């Protein structure tokens, strides 16, 4: 079961990374978080259940330093979602200090020959609690115990969970979040549920370590079965939760990004005019919804103006990311616009513009000079098949049939 969960978590991490690489960079931190949690579960499965000398030889000490990145990844995710800025900052270096210290302390063992590590792995297979007394890390040798090393991993992750919750609360209290209400409500529920499962998971891991690594005489009569059950349920919750919130792949659309000040000002001005015309003082939520509506309308106008003035769709490589760069609007804002407002896939929107351009070429008699394939290329299509498929989807006819029918847009 644990192996299945770790593999499922790894698959989820890959999906999150794939869908967020261009659309929402903040999701990359989330994918790394799930990957690290899944890797931790895989570690636990190998050391407790498989007793594989080979895998223990590979994993023991050599890879455990990465667990110190679990907490920072979830914090970076939370911060980037709330600020709409996924970039790391100069002051973020200190978040990596525990990881660096652990790597430095483990280097002597990492550099040991394979034969030495194989012997240690065989010892662990015979007695897994050997790890609870083996002061392999320099830091453990200095402090005289290995327990603080094991305990520091879940406790550090737990600290970052609370740090993320505090960041969320602070941003909301100070009204630093300007958001699209529906998406924000979804994200808030998602982040709260994610945080609850993190707290349960890291607390249960910490409790197990305190009691059993090594066995603490004060707690030797305590059964850790309940804590292990809680840890298992929490792990299941972490893996399953994203499947219940598929729209988190698109991030949290905000409309107060520094790069969008002009667009925001335009939407606020429009909202103020509407409020004056209505001659009433709407409640806070009414104002917010009006601002969101005007922002989305302004964003749609900006997209349409870009298409009209620059015709970027004629470039075969034109995509949502390039549009985002052209108009200086986050890609996941555009995702939200097309998905929720226009209710049209961006590719369909782009292809319809290309088809309209192709029709204008046909109207100008370009078919007498160029092949239909060449007209498709000039319209931005990368292949003959994509041109014909998009044309038929938009008009109900193939380009050749459309041409021979003598139908032009103004006559339909």
Q: For residue range 360-408, list pLDDT tens digits in order.
A: 988 888 888 888 889 999 999 999 899 999 999 988 888 888 877 755 4
What pLDDT was estimated at residue 309?
A: 92
Q: Give the count of beta carbons closer than 10 Å to the beta carbon of residue 62.
A: 13
pLDDT-derived band at 351, boundaries 50, 70, 90: very high
Tens-place pLDDT, residues 109-130: 999 999 999 999 999 999 888 8
20/28 Cα distance (integer angstroms): 6
Residue 182, pLDDT score: 59
pLDDT at 144 > cutoff 80 = yes
List CB contacts of 8: < 8 A, sequence separation 6 or more. 38, 239
CA distance 331 to 193: 26
> What is the percentage of the chain residues whose pLDDT exceeds 70?
79
Is residue 168 a contact partner of residue 82, using CB atoms and an 8 Å limit? yes
pLDDT at 410: 41
Please enumerate in sequence order all residues whose Cβ is within 8 A of that of 97, keeping only pairs 6 or more positions apart, or say none. none
pLDDT exceeds cutoff 70 at 278: no
Q: Which two tokens stand for residue 84?
A: 């709409």
13-22, 77-86, 138-147: range with lowest mean pLDDT: 13-22
Output the pLDDT for position 220.
64
Quick check: 411 pLDDT over 70? no
Mean of the per-residue pLDDT values of the chain: 81
- Check whether 88 has a pLDDT greater than 60: yes
| CB atoms near residue 322 (< 10 Å) | 12
Scan for tokens 């029918």, then name that residue: 405
| Phi, psi (rounded to 5 degrees) for 215 | -60, 125
- Highest mean pLDDT among 54-63, 174-183, 367-376 belongs to 54-63
Lowest-confidence segment of 52-66, 283-297, 363-377, 382-396 by average pLDDT: 283-297
- Structure confidence at residue 258 (pLDDT): 37
Q: Rounded to two decimals, what is the model's pTM?
A: 0.68
Q: Assign 286 a pLDDT band (cuts: 50, 70, 90).
A: low
Q: How many beta carbons lie within 10 A of that of residue 54, not counting itself?
A: 11
């Amino acid at each position: 079961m644990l192996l299945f969960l770790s593999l499922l978590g790894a698959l989820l991490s890959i999906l999150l990374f794939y869908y967020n690489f261009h659309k929402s960079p903040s999701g990359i931190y989330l994918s790394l978080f799930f990957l690290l949690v899944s890797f931790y579960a895989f570690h636990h499965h190998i050391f407790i259940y498989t007793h594989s000398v080979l895998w223990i030889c590979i994993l023991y000490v050599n890879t455990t330093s990465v667990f110190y990145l679990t907490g920072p990844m979830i914090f970076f995710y939370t911060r980037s979602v709330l600020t709409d800025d996924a970039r790391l900052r100069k002051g973020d270096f200190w978040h990596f200090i525990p990881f660096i210290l652990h790597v430095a302390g483990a280097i002597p063992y990492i550099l040991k020959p394979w034969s030495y590590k194989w012997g240690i792995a065989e010892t662990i297979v015979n007695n897994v609690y050997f790890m609870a007394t083996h002061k392999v890390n320099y830091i453990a040798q200095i402090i005289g115990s290995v327990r603080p090393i094991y305990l520091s991993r879940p406790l550090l992750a737990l600290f970052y969970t609370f740090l993320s919750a505090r960041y969320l609360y602070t941003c909301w209290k100070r009204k630093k979040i300007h958001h699209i209400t529906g998406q924000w409500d979804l994200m808030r529920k998602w982040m709260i549920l994610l945080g609850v499962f993190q707290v349960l998971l890291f607390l249960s891991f910490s409790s197990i370590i305190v009691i059993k690594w090594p066995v603490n005489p004060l707690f030797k009569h305590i059964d850790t079965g309940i804590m292990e059950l809680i840890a298992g349920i929490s792990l299941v919750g972490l893996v399953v939760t994203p499947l219940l919130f598929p729209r988190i792949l698109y991030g949290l659309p905000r409309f107060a990004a520094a790069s969008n000040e002009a667009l925001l000002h335009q939407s606020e001005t429009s909202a103020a005019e509407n409020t004056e015309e209505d001659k009433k003082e709407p409640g806070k939520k009414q104002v917010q919804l009006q601002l969101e509506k005007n922002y989305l309308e302004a964003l749609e106008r900006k997209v349409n103006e870009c298409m009209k003035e620059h015709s970027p769709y004629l470039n075969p490589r034109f995509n949502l990311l390039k549009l985002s760069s052209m108009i200086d609007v986050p890609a996941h804002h555009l995702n939200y616009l097309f998905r929720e407002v226009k209710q049209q896939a961006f590719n369909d929107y782009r292809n319809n513009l290309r088809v309209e351009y192709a029709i204008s070429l046909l109207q100008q008699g370009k078919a007498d000079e160029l092949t239909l394939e060449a007209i498709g290329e000039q319209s931005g299509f990368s292949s003959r098949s994509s041109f014909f498929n998009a044309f038929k989807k938009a008009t109900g006819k193939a380009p050749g049939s459309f041409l021979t029918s003598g139908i032009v847009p103004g006559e339909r």
